[in-house]
Amino acid sequence: MSKKRTGVFVCHCGTNIAATVDVARVAKEMADESTVAFTQEYVYMCSEPGQESVVQAIKDNKLDSVVVTCCSPNLHEKTFRDNAKRAGINNFTCEIANIREQCSWVHADKAKGTEKAIKISRSVVRRVNRNKPMEAIAVPVTKRAMVIGGGIAGIQAALDIANAGIEVVLVEKQATIGGRMLQLSETFPTLDCSQCVLSPKMVEVNRHPNIRLMTYSEVQEVGGSVGNFRVKVLKKPTFVDPDKCKICDHCTEVCPQVVPNEYELNLNARRAIYIPYAQAIPASFTLDIDACLGLNPIRCGKCKEVCEAGAIDYDMQPQTVTEDVGAIVVATGFDLYDQENMPEMGGGKVEDVLDGLQFERLISASGATHGHILRPSDHKEPKDVVFIQCVGSRDPAKHCAYCSKICCMYTAKHARLYKKHVPDGRAYVFYIDIRSGGKGYEEFVQRTMEDDDTLYLRGRVSKLYRKGDKVKVMGTDTLTGQNVEIDADMVVLALAMVPSKGTVEIAKTLKIGRDKDGFLAEAHPKLRPVESVTGGIYLAGAAQAPKDIPETVAQAGAAAAKVIALLSQATLNRSPLIAKVRPSHCTGCGMCVDACPFIAIRLENGKAIVNEALCEGCGSCSATCLRAAIDVKNVTQLQIHEMIEACLA
Amino acid sequence: MINIQDIRDTARDMLTKGEARIVIGYRRGTRGMLAEPTFITNPEQADELVWDPTCFHNLSLYLVHDRKFLAHMRQNPGAPVAIVAKGCDARSIVVLLQEHYFKREDIYIIGVSCEGTGVLDERKLAPLLNGAHATNAAFDGDDFVFTTEVGEKRMSAREVLADRCLECRTPYPKEHNIVFGEDETGRQLEAPFAALTRFEAQGAGERWEEWSRHFDRCMRCFACRSVCPMCYCDECVVDSITFPVTAGTTAEEKASRIKWIERSATRSENITYLMTRAMHLAGRCTDCGACERACPVNVPIRMLNNKMEREAREKFGFEPGASIGGPSLVASFLDSDPGDFIR
Amino acid sequence: MSEPQADFEPKIVAFLCKWCSSAGSDLAGVSRIQYPANATPITIPCTGAVSPMYILSAFNKGADGVLVSGCHIGDCHYIEGNFLARRKMHLTMELLKFIGVEPDRFRMSWVSAAEGAKFAQVVTEFVDDVKKLGPQDKLKKVVST
């Protein structure tokens, strides 16, 4: 084996390194290493002349490997590796020693800092000594995408990807797409009709040649990795053929089973066979098997009897389909914080205390009360309505620490729409602050506040309770310093936005992280807002954080753009620093198989075998193996051993 | 009470019918009362099998030897190997099966329960015989009965039990193909990990005092490793001598060896060896005690493995040798694993 | 046991996971938070990749303290690596304590990429604690001069 010829390039980084590390001494100490054939210092190694000097040095001194002692590898590892490649050596024989962020910037004592810089540099020289040349692994990319969640985020992402010529599978758990936006009456600040804006997009999704819509379906299992995911989707039986259903209503009229209607937030009831909304897509009825009297044996059968279109099929079976896709967008939306968690606000047990979505359904012309604002208890029109903001939000002690962002706006909207429907009514809004940062938002809120009969009270509500046929609201107005007691006919709570139940489940299935509040975790809070930490999986909408519709649509477009970029490549380059087995030492005990977080190892003929497409190079297998029979390339146990020695010399 | 004839009949039967190619069991040794391992291939040899309190060896070691021999000769197992296994030994076999060291159908476990009485530590016996020589030892309920030249001596098994038997919870071989003896699992003479608790009651200074003397005494003869069924690795990571070199070994492979410790039997190197071994046995050691018994300089090696077993049981709810199908201790985790020590 | 000397500077090896703790260390650097220079970092893909042998080897080669730092539980970039690490490091810690090695010489911490200040604090406290214990001589290989 020919002697190693490593070049060590010590960067001054101006005075960033040179001020607190004796760079000349670092270079000198490295020159004493037996594998180092050349050392050089430069003021800014990453600059054009700096990089050129490295290329020249490699060529002139026939170097086969490079160590650059400089800033964090996060910044310039790729730069220097590409540079090494230009000079004719393999890019994986170039390593970075971080003597800036982890040394010169944090230690003022030059003597001590220099000692540490020498140790760090020496350990990387020892590591690079055993680096093998590597080539990135080219993996073919499946040019299809999946969007999980059919609300406005999912719909927008699906349309944007489909319009780029890529086939999209859109999976939605409910019987219709549309999500929360379909439950809204009007949207702020323009007050245009939510369904009118959303319906054309829903129809477009249904008709798009590149979109395969799977409603009433749930993702069960996901395998594979970026560019090559294999997803198992369970299609639950609706027992109605959407191609034949004429939405004539006859079936629903004869169905004897009545259950609370979750689409109307339980403000009214539906039958076991139902259509969620008039604008549902797919435009078809669905038979809820849990509400139905039973099909096995058939206990009722009336809906099928009256269906003239012959659309009802009791023999429909659940189907599991496997979809191969290259990228996934998760857009599973939000729920509202459970009122049960707020006993001081009635705990969900006080009548005529509603949440924001329920209020939307009251205002909506297609809702439970046909657009008339009526109290659920006695169907009378409420003349005094109290709106309470920040219910469950901004409360680090007991509930959610964060601000749910949209409540100030929709509460103002609710107050305005309430006044439109009930001109002689009085609206009270309890608030802490007003957050109205979007286009036209501040003006919208100001106009609401200017209405004489809408009273904005800066203060919190300590409790509310039922008294007779009123809801007594005990609050405070901090601007006047007075306590306020209101006998309300109806109370609307702006409850915190929390990640939906489906979001929690899909995060487990996809193995993507969630942040401290349970929302899907983005790869970087500032610079990578639509990517999860896992390659190939993107995030959009309220599942990632509370946001309004314009932000959701923008984020969905951003996620779509990322997907399109990813899938525009024929092959993907994966890092080759993955696990490798030494069959001579492997006894087939299977510990690595169990330890691997990615199920990337299997036993075959008594030996472990690594699936190169799945291995992420984490090294869990290597630390578990008792025999050092499996190791991560270029991060081997031998290399670490020699680095430890270098650190303690 | 176990009738040795049943064990002999089983062995004879299997060998006659060709259902086993070899039966690993115990026979009377060539000197004195102690039993020794035996490997019988002829039905006639079945009569030499014994079962008495001196059957303390963990015979599963020989399953490992057998497999290595077959691999070396490139032979297939053929008919199964039958093995006489006590409760503790059967758990060792479970660990070997868990690690796919051989297939279940290649082993026929003749389970023998010590019925909670345990087996003998002859070092404890010697002082109690008052100079007499024992030529035979027998089980009798909770007692051992020794035949000596000055007559029969009966004593409570407890007085001369191997340490591990005092705290044993599994005298009955749960994994077996056929089993003899009763399941007297409830009979515990000392609390689990009693000896460990006594040791850990000392302060860190005293513990180091004691262990540093042990480490100094160790001569790195590797007897503990040789006698351990779990130490079946062809190459021991902490012993540079064991690197298997064949015609096909490349220079690069030779250069890739990691020399974690020096060969010299000095304190620091001995510590690394013994602690590495303890870590590697965590969740795998089933406390057969063979290591401690084999050590020529009386290092209490078992205690290190015991400590790991206690952590496995108490902190991770993990029992070594309990199930063939489950993952090993260090290849799995629970959400409830303790993390208080982490800042 | 040696007496802690006034000018004793502990030698510490710190295994930092690439995605969280090494990034957290970088953030400490970007924020110019000062801390003692006694801990030399070795960046590994994940704390799950830290073999107990690394800890033993570090002490054998004379480390006065060993630090292992990774992502918080539930946040591991490789999903489960730090869960596996938690178990192995617990066993390592218990074994070291068992034979009488001072528990303060081996430390594990969870430091995320956003916790630059915490990283500096962990190192500062660790260096202080190890200083009080003096040089490590129980497991250190004695090299003849």
DSSP string for A321-370: EEEEESEEEE---EEEPPGGG-GGGTTT-STTEEEHHHHHHHHSTTSTTT
A200 CB-near residues (< 8 Å, 6+ apart): none
Measured between CA atoms, how close is C100 to chain A, in angstroms?
23
CA gap C64, A87 in Å, rounded: 42
pLDDT of residue A1: 47
- A interface with C, Cβ–Cβ < 8 A, is 72, 74, 98, 100-103, 105-109, 112-113, 115-116, 119-120, 123, 511, 513, 521, 533, 577, 595, 597-598, 616-620, 622-624, 632, 635, 637, 640-641, 643-645, 647-648
Mean pLDDT rounded to a whole number for chain A = 95
Burial (0-12, 13-18, 19+ Cβ within 10 Å), A200: exposed
Interface test with C, best of B215, B333, B334 (most C CBs within 10 A): B333
Q: Which two tokens stand for residue B289?
A: 């005690």
Q: Tell me the count of A-C CB pairs closer than 8 A.
A: 133
Phi, then psi, of B321 in degrees rounded to 5: 70, 20
pLDDT of residue A451: 80
pLDDT of residue A240: 97
Q: Do A644 and C23 touch (CB under 8 A)?
A: no
Measured between CA atoms, how close is B60 to chain A, in angstroms?
17
Q: Report DSSP letters for B19-43, one per residue.
A: S-SEEEEEEE-SSTT-EEEEEE-SG
Name the residue in chain B with its Cα closest to that of A592: B331
In terms of Cα–Cα distance, which of C78, C84, B232, C77 is closest to A594? Answer: C84
Query: Which chain C residues are Cβ-neighbours of B311 within 8 angstroms?
Result: 90-91, 94
pLDDT of residue B239: 87
pLDDT at B307 over 80: yes
CA gap A158, A328 in Å, rounded: 10
What's the distance, Cα to Cα, between the start and end of chain C in Å?
A: 22
Separation in Å, CA A433 to CA A427, A479, A491, B62, C86: 17, 12, 19, 77, 44
CA gap A83, B202 in Å, rounded: 60
Q: Do C41 and A598 touch (CB under 8 A)?
A: no
pLDDT at B252 over 80: no
CA gap A138, A445 in Å, rounded: 54
pLDDT at C129 over 80: yes
CA gap C141, B269 in Å, rounded: 7
pLDDT of residue C1: 47
pLDDT at B13 over 50: yes
CA B171 to chain centre: 13
Q: Which chains touch C (3 or more CB pairs under 8 A)?
A: A, B
pLDDT, tens digit, 9 for 90 and up, residues B169-191: 888 999 999 999 988 876 777 88
pLDDT of residue C5: 62
Q: Which chains touch B (3 or more CB pairs under 8 A)?
A: A, C
pLDDT of residue A637: 95
Which of B153-174 are b and which e, b meaning 16 or more Cβ less than 10 Å from the residue's Cβ? beeebeebbbbbbbbbbbbbbb
Which of A14-23, B246-255, C69-78 is the least confident region?
Answer: B246-255
CA gap B26, B85 in Å, rounded: 10
User: How many CB atoms within 10 Å of residue A228?
Assistant: 18
pLDDT of residue B113: 93
Q: Do A623 and C48 touch (CB under 8 A)?
A: yes
pLDDT of residue A71: 94
Separation in Å, CA A160 to CA A371, A537, A554, C69: 33, 16, 11, 42
Is beta strand A497-499 parallel, antiparallel or unpaired with respect to A334-336? antiparallel
Residues A160-175: what's their mean pLDDT? 98
Whether residue A206 contacts residue A158, with contact meaning beta carbons closer than 8 Å, is answered with no
pLDDT of residue C3: 53
Q: Letter for the amino acid at A649? A: A
CA gap C46, B316 in Å, rounded: 22
This complex has an ipTM of 0.96
Whether residue A372 contacts residue A381, with contact meaning beta carbons closer than 8 Å, is answered with yes
B231 CB-near residues (< 8 Å, 6+ apart): B225, B277, B281
Q: E strands, A244-301, where?
A: 258-260, 269-271, 273-274, 286-287
Percentage of the residues of chain B whose pLDDT score is greater than 90 = 67
Whether residue C47 contacts residue A633, with contact meaning beta carbons closer than 8 Å, is answered with no
Nearest to C110 among B204, B282, B342 (CB): B342
CA gap A47, B15 in Å, rounded: 80
Q: Do C90 and B333 touch (CB under 8 A)?
A: no
Helix (H), strand (E) at residue A11? strand A6-11
pLDDT of residue A573: 86
pLDDT of residue A473: 97
Name the residue in chain C with its Cα closest to that of A117: C40
pLDDT of residue A47: 94
pLDDT, tens digit, 9 for 90 and up, residues B195-213: 899 999 999 999 999 999 9
B301 CB-near residues (< 8 Å, 6+ apart): B224, B274, B291, B292, B295
Whether residue A603 contacts residue A588, with contact meaning beta carbons closer than 8 Å, is answered with yes
CA gap A108, A95 in Å, rounded: 26
CA gap A366, B278 in Å, rounded: 71
Q: Do B311 and C91 touch (CB under 8 A)?
A: yes
Interface test with C, best of B271, B302, B330 (most C CBs within 10 A): B271
Percentage of the residues of chain A whose pLDDT score is greater than 90 = 90
Whether residue B106 contacts residue B82, with contact meaning beta carbons closer than 8 Å, is answered with no
Residues B33-46: what's their mean pLDDT? 94
CA gap C25, C8 in Å, rounded: 24
Interface test with A, best of C19, C78, C80 (most A CBs within 10 A): C78
Q: Do B330 and A627 touch (CB under 8 A)?
A: no
pLDDT of residue A2: 67
Interface test with A, best of C19, C32, C35, C42 (most A CBs within 10 A): C42
In terms of Cα–Cα distance, which of B335, B99, B281, B275 is closest to A588? Answer: B99
Q: Do C44 and A112 touch (CB under 8 A)?
A: no
CA gap A58, A211 in Å, rounded: 52
Task: Using DSSP, state whether B256 is helix, strand or coil.
Answer: coil
pLDDT of residue C145: 62
Q: Which chains touch A (3 or more CB pairs under 8 A)?
A: B, C
Instruction: Please indicate whether residue B157 or residue A251 has the higher confidence score (pLDDT).
Output: A251
Q: Do C37 and A116 touch (CB under 8 A)?
A: yes
CA gap A491, A470 in Å, rounded: 10
Task: Using DSSP, state whether A493 is helix, strand or coil.
Answer: strand
Burial (0-12, 13-18, 19+ Cβ within 10 Å), B252: exposed
Measured between CA atoms, how close is B244 to chain A, in angstroms?
9
Task: Using DSSP, state whether A632 is helix, strand or coil.
Answer: strand
Residues B264-281: what's their mean pLDDT? 95
Query: Which chain C residues are Cβ-neighbours of B205 within 8 angstroms?
Result: 1, 100
Task: Using DSSP, state whether A555 is helix, strand or coil.
Answer: helix
In terms of Cα–Cα distance, which of B110, B99, B87 is closest to B287? Answer: B87
Query: Which chain C residues are Cβ-neighbours of A641 within 8 angstroms?
Result: 54, 57
pLDDT of residue B189: 79
pLDDT at C2 over 70: no
Residues B206-223: what's their mean pLDDT? 96
Query: Which chain C residues are Cβ-neighbours of B282 within 8 angstroms?
Result: 91
pLDDT at A131 over 50: yes
Measured between CA atoms, how close is C91 to chain B, in angstroms?
7
pLDDT of residue A453: 78
User: How many CB atoms within 10 Å of residue A297?
Assistant: 6
A378 CB-near residues (< 8 Å, 6+ apart): A469
Residues A230-236: what's their mean pLDDT? 97
Check the CA dihedral A130-A131-A134-A139 and report its sign.
positive
pLDDT at A612 over 90: no
pLDDT of residue B169: 83
Q: Which two tokens stand for residue B83?
A: 């093995």
Query: Which chain B residues are Cβ-neighbours of C98 within 8 angstroms?
Result: 200, 207, 304, 307
Percentage of the residues of chain C whose pLDDT score is greater than 70 = 94
Its pTM stands at: 0.77
CA gap A472, B71 in Å, rounded: 84
CA gap A436, A446 in Å, rounded: 10
User: How many CB atoms within 10 Å of residue C106?
Assistant: 23
CA gap A330, A556 in Å, rounded: 10
Helix (H), strand (E) at residue B254? helix B251-255
